[in-house]
């Protein structure tokens, strides 16, 4: 693999975060996890993130709101976002 990405995984379930980490780390990526939207936004102010994977259904701030805030902030709007959930 030519490039390592820092991927922010946001989900309110530890199992899902563990699964994503198990899949992505062996591919050479760095995984940063957050259990809620507020923590995810805090991480985005502190770290350079290459991709955000967001759960839609989270208590408090849902994935749609996290995505909206990412895309309206001039410092983070360039980050690709993949939303998952039903």
Containing structural domain, residue 30: 10-51+63-70+72-76+78-82
Residue-wise pLDDT for 10-32, tens only, equals: 999 999 999 999 999 999 999 99
Residue-wise pLDDT for 29-81, tens only, equals: 999 999 999 999 999 999 999 999 999 999 999 999 999 999 999 999 999 99
Domain count, the chain: 1
Let me know if residue 42 belongs to a domain. Answer: yes
Let me know if residue 58 belongs to a domain. Answer: no
pTM of this prediction?
0.93
Let me know if residue 5 belongs to a domain. Answer: no
* Alpha carbon distances (Å) from 34 to 2, 37, 50, 77: 26, 7, 15, 19
Let me know if residue 29 belongs to a domain. Answer: yes
Let me know if residue 27 belongs to a domain. Answer: yes
C-alpha span between 44 and 32 (Å, rounded): 10
């Amino acid at each position: 693999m030519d490039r390592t990405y820092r991927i922010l995984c946001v989900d309110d379930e530890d199992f899902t975060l563990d699964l994503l980490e198990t899949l992505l780390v062996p591919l050479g990526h760095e995984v940063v996890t957050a259990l809620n939207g507020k923590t995810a936004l805090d991480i985005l102010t502190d770290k350079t993130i290459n991709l955000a994977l967001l759960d839609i259904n989270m208590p408090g701030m849902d994935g749609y709101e996290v995505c909206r805030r990412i895309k309206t902030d001039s410092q983070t709007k360039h980050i690709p976002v993949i939303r998952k959930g039903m």
